């Protein structure tokens, strides 16, 4: 359920319904509206915050991150997805972690040269 909450918040932000700086519903209010546990909503907010999609100000609530923070957070989330996929492929190839790290370093060097 918390994944659905995260996705709906992301969709509202992407659609422009919730612009940067907009205050999100409180954790308790959203939990009551959706008839889910406060813990479920809190987990969704924490994950969105770690992705940089929202920011939480102690005592003031949670807000949509500004566009720059949001873009950075989304890039970090995308990178995390690709790194997990690379780790899974490496594991299926019985590749050692050090080999994967070496390949990543080489890919970064190649990318720098291409620029």
Summarised one tens digit per residue, pLDDT across range 66-84 is 866 666 767 777 888 899 9
Residue count of the chain, please give it: 115
Question: What's the pTM?
Answer: 0.61
The secondary element (H helix, E strand) that includes residue 64 is: strand 61-64
Tell me how far apart the alpha carbons of residues 50 and 38 are, in angstroms, rounded to a whole number: 18
First to last CA, the chain: 42
DSSP alpha helix (H) spans, the chain: 2-14, 27-34, 38-50, 67-92, 97-114
3-state secondary structure of 20: coil
Query: Residues 84-100: pLDDT tens digits?
Result: 999 999 999 999 999 99
């Amino acid at each position: 359920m918390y994944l659905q909450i995260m996705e709906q918040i992301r969709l509202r932000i992407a659609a422009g319904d919730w612009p940067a700086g907009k205050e999100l519903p409180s954790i308790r209010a959203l939990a009551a509206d959706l008839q889910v546990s406060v813990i479920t909503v809190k987990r969704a907010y924490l994950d969105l915050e770690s992705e940089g999609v929202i920011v939480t100000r102690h005592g003031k609530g949670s807000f949509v991150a500004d566009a720059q923070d949001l873009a950075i957070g989304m890039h970090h989330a995308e990178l995390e997805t690709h790194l997990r996929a690379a780790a899974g492929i490496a594991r299926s190839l019985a590749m050692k972690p050090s080999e994967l790290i070496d390949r990543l370093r080489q890919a970064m060097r190649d990318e720098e040269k291409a620029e």
